[in-house]
């Protein structure tokens, strides 16, 4: 599989530098990138997280999983999703597509052999724009806390998406254990995730 994308993260985050979340975001992204630069440790953590995620998918039994293209040291879920798709006919997976800055995400069908193109922020998206409707979302987390609140990149895309989707899909946050915080600053629009999976456990 191709290497994870390296988008312009400065454009993903739209919060001012004095925002407490922006300060946390920079620190957590730097810590995650340091781990990604240690191949043996990164491989072990990715294997552990992949195994836990496969267990969650087996327990939840979704029919369509929305996930994400990995960027900036994130866990790469493509191998886990490829195996999950191959286990039963009729299963679907989709990658998020930004249609315009203030809109909810839409999900385009993905298979391991799907041809990709560059999307907004330089993140790959499926070339064929067939849409799917996930009943389970794997949501990337820059950080998370004990209340299952998520810190993202600051663009608000997942907040808008979860508020718009009906019925609301099951939401599974995906993060490394180093991203766990005691508590995140909470805002009225923040929606706790249903579950968070890391290399060390499920919350």
pLDDT digits (tens, 9 = 90+) for 86-102: 999 999 999 999 998 88
Are the beta carbons of 176 and 143 closer than 8 angstroms? no
Residue 192 lies in a domain: yes
Q: What is the pLDDT of residue 32?
A: 94
Q: What is the pLDDT of residue 2?
A: 46
Residue 15 has pLDDT above 90, yes or no: no
The answer to whether residue 27 sits within a structural domain is yes
Q: How far apart are CA 184 and CA 143, in angstroms?
A: 8
Domain-located, residue 3:
no
Provide the percentage of residues in the chain whose pLDDT is more than 90.
Answer: 76
Residue 10 lies in a domain: no
CATH number of residue 50's parent domain: 3.40.50.10420
Higher pLDDT, residue 31 or 11: 31
Instruction: Tell me whether residue 164 is in a domain.
Output: yes
Distance CA 52, CA 198 (A): 8
Number of domains in the chain: 1
Cα–Cα distance for residue pair 60/45, rounded to 1 Å: 23
60 touches 137 (CB < 8 A): no
For residue range 177-191, list pLDDT tens digits in order.
999 999 998 877 778
In a domain, 72, yes or no: yes
User: DSSP string covering the chain, please?
Assistant: -PPPB---HHHH--S-TTSHHHHHHHHHHHHHHHHHT-HHHHHHHHHHHHHHHHHHHHHH--SEEE----BTT----HHHHHHHHHTSTT-EEEEEE-SSTTSPPEEEE--TT--EEE-GGG-EEESS--EE--SEEEEE-SEE-TT--EE--SS-HHHHHHHH-SSPPEEEEE--GGGB-S-----TT----SEEE-SS-B-
Task: Kindly state whether residue 4 falls inside one of the protein's structural domains.
Answer: no
- Is residue 30 in a domain? yes
Check pLDDT > 90 for residue 10: no
Q: Mutual orientation of helices 39-60 and 78-86 as an angle, nearest 10°?
A: 40
Range of the domain at 87: 15-197
Q: What is the pLDDT of residue 13?
A: 47
Six-digit token string for 67: 């996930």
**From CA 164, how far away is CA 166, in angstroms rounded?**
6
Is the pLDDT at 132 greater than 70? The verdict is yes
């Amino acid at each position: 599989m191709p290497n994870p994308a390296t988008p312009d993260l400065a454009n993903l985050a739209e919060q001012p530098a004095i925002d407490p979340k922006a300060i946390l975001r920079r620190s957590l992204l730097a810590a995650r990138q340091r781990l990604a630069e240690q191949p043996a440790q990164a491989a072990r953590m990715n294997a552990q997280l992949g195994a836990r995620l496969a267990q969650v998918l087996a327990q939840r039994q979704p029919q369509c999983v929305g996930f994400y293209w990995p960027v900036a040291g994130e866990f790469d879920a493509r191998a886990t999703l490829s195996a999950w798709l191959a286990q039963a006919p009729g299963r679907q997976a989709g990658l998020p597509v930004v249609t315009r800055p203030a809109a909810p995400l839409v999900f385009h069908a993905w298979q391991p052999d799907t041809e990709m193109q560059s999307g907004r922020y330089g993140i790959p998206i499926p070339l064929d724009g067939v849409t799917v409707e996930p009943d389970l979302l794997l949501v990337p987390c820059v950080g998370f806390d004990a209340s299952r609140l998520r810190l993202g990149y600051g663009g608000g895309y997942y907040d808008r998406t979860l508020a718009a989707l009906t019925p609301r899909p099951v939401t599974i946050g995906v993060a490394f254990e180093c991203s766990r915080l005691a508590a995140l600053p909470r805002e009225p629009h923040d929606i706790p995730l249903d579950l968070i999976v890391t290399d060390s456990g499920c919350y």
